[in-house]
Amino acid sequence: MASVLLQHVSKQFGSSNYAVHDVNLDIEDKEFLVLLGPSGCGKTTTLRMVAGLEEVSEGRIVIGGQDVTNVPPKDRDIAMVFQNYALYPHMTVYENMSFGLKLRKMPKTEIDKRVKEAAEILGLSPYLARRPKELSGGQRQRVALGRAIVREPKAFLMDEPLSNLDAKLRTQTRVELKRLHQRLGATIIYVTHDQTEAMTMGTRIVVMRDGVVQQVDTPDGIYHRPANQFVGTFVGTPAMNLLSAELSRQGTEFIAHLGDQTLSLPTQLTGPLESLIEPQVTLGVRPEDVHLVRADASDSLKAVVRLVEAMGHEQLVYLSLGSRDIVARTDNDWTGKSGDAVGITFDMARLHLFDPVSEESLLR
């Protein structure tokens, strides 16, 4: 396995805007790096440039210490797994997995050893003689993975490999992939638009938007210390609440005005707020950091319940806070209903603050 380095990598198709712009990534050996972002943000293009299937317009790609920017795909020693894992329908599982090695003229005994090992790892040993149509969707996806594993490449590149599977199988395969990563000690670059896949599998996550990297961080860092409003709201369901507020000062304290209600901000936020020129700020509060209390509780904001969604293990409570909408996540035994007047408080240690113009976090 090997490290993968992208230096100032950009891609422009024809004379259109940049599909990928100035991407810098230092992917360590054995890392499971996830590229996350909405459709069209440049994830596939980035992966295809690493594979050599797409030429870079600018920049450099280094795999395992070797500059491969101008090396053809077949000589880069990487394996790709796509969403559409086209298996050869007339070949058995064994033949599908061994086909690439045969083309490379690898000795039969070595091919046999690798295919059987991969089949064992993937739980495919009983199915080696079957053809793709005699397999479930999940088993077919594992054959596609097997085909990549037997090559023992320097790195695996995976482009939304689970998106054709149904929800249950996707969860199951997600766990399997993570285990596979631990077992192979492989370098994996994994593309997805699914935040759950990114959060559960990635050792680090790269959040992209319009071809530009927004943040590279651990799942924990992405969730708890988002670099900007886009990252803050892209990860987390329901999305982080955003509340525009106006600030005023009372002595050493900052007060946020939300309509005619006020909220004193904790003193640890004073530093970042000092640098603000305009008094406007956007508060970011995740639904689990909004707490429901009695309507007359002191130091609470006054809100009205609009809708309650029971989710089984928790409830989502949609509220009006003056003219602002806000959603709270609460446990099962909360018994309010729509129309109720309630108080809400925020977990102030987990409050996010964004510049309303640049949308950058003020806390970094």
Residue ranges in contact with ligand ADP by CB under 6 A: 13, 19, 37, 39-45
Query: Among 42-50, 113-121, 181-189, 262-270, which window interacts with Mg ion (CB under 5 A)?
Result: 42-50
Shortest Å, Cβ 231 to Mg ion = 19
Q: Given the DSSP bridges, would you call strands 280-285 and 352-354 parallel, antiparallel or unpaired?
A: antiparallel
Q: Which two three-digit tokens encode residue 51?
A: 């594979």
Shortest Å, Cβ 189 to Mg ion = 13
Shortest Å, Cβ 85 to Mg ion = 15
Contact 36/193 with Cβ under 8 angstroms?
A: yes
Shortest Å, Cβ 84 to ligand ADP = 14
> How many residues contact Mg ion, by CB under 5 A?
1
DSSP for 251-306, written as a single string? TTEEEEEETTEEEEEPGGGHHHHHT-SSSEEEEEE-GGGEEEE-TT-TT-EEEEEE
CB closer to ligand ADP, 20 vs 186 = 20
CB closer to Mg ion, 190 vs 223 = 190
Contact 216/198 with Cβ under 8 angstroms?
A: no
- Selection from Mg ion, ligand ADP, none that 88 binds (CB < 5 to 8 A by kind) is none
Q: Give backbone dihedrals phi and psi of 41, rounded to 5 degrees, phi first.
A: -85, -5
Shortest Å, Cβ 44 to Mg ion = 3
Please give the C-alpha separations between residue 210 and each of 21, 37, 78, 167, 353, in angstroms, as whole numbers.
8, 9, 26, 28, 23
- Selection from ligand ADP, Mg ion, none that 188 binds (CB < 5 to 8 A by kind) is none
Residues between 189 and 248 that touch Mg ion (CB under 5 A): none
Q: Which two three-digit tokens encode residue 8?
A: 């100032």
CB closer to ligand ADP, 49 vs 258 = 49
- Selection from ligand ADP, Mg ion, none that 40 binds (CB < 5 to 8 A by kind) is ligand ADP
CB closer to ligand ADP, 192 vs 300 = 192
Q: If DSSP codes are grouped into helix, strand and coil, which group holds residue 227? A: coil
- Selection from Mg ion, ligand ADP, none that 334 binds (CB < 5 to 8 A by kind) is none
CB closer to ligand ADP, 19 vs 81 = 19
Residues 64 and 292: their CA atoms lie apart, in Å, by: 52
- Selection from Mg ion, ligand ADP, none that 252 binds (CB < 5 to 8 A by kind) is none
Residues 124 and 219: their CA atoms lie apart, in Å, by: 31
Nearest 5°: the CA angle 187, 170, 286 is 85
CB closer to Mg ion, 45 vs 187 = 45
Confirm or reject binding of residue 44 to Mg ion (CB under 5 A): yes
Shortest Å, Cβ 313 to ligand ADP = 32
CB closer to ligand ADP, 43 vs 324 = 43
- Selection from Mg ion, ligand ADP, none that 41 binds (CB < 5 to 8 A by kind) is ligand ADP
Residues near 140 by Cβ (< 8 Å), separated by ≥ 6?
85, 87, 132
Shortest Å, Cβ 350 to ligand ADP = 30
- Selection from Mg ion, ligand ADP, none that 45 binds (CB < 5 to 8 A by kind) is ligand ADP
356-359's contacts with Cβ under 8 Å and 24+ in sequence apart are 356/244, 356/278, 356/280, 356/281, 356/282, 357/278, 358/228, 359/228, 359/229, 359/230, 359/282
- Selection from Mg ion, ligand ADP, none that 42 binds (CB < 5 to 8 A by kind) is ligand ADP
Shortest Å, Cβ 40 to Mg ion = 8
Q: What does the binding site for Mg ion look like in residue numbers (CB under 5 A)?
A: 44
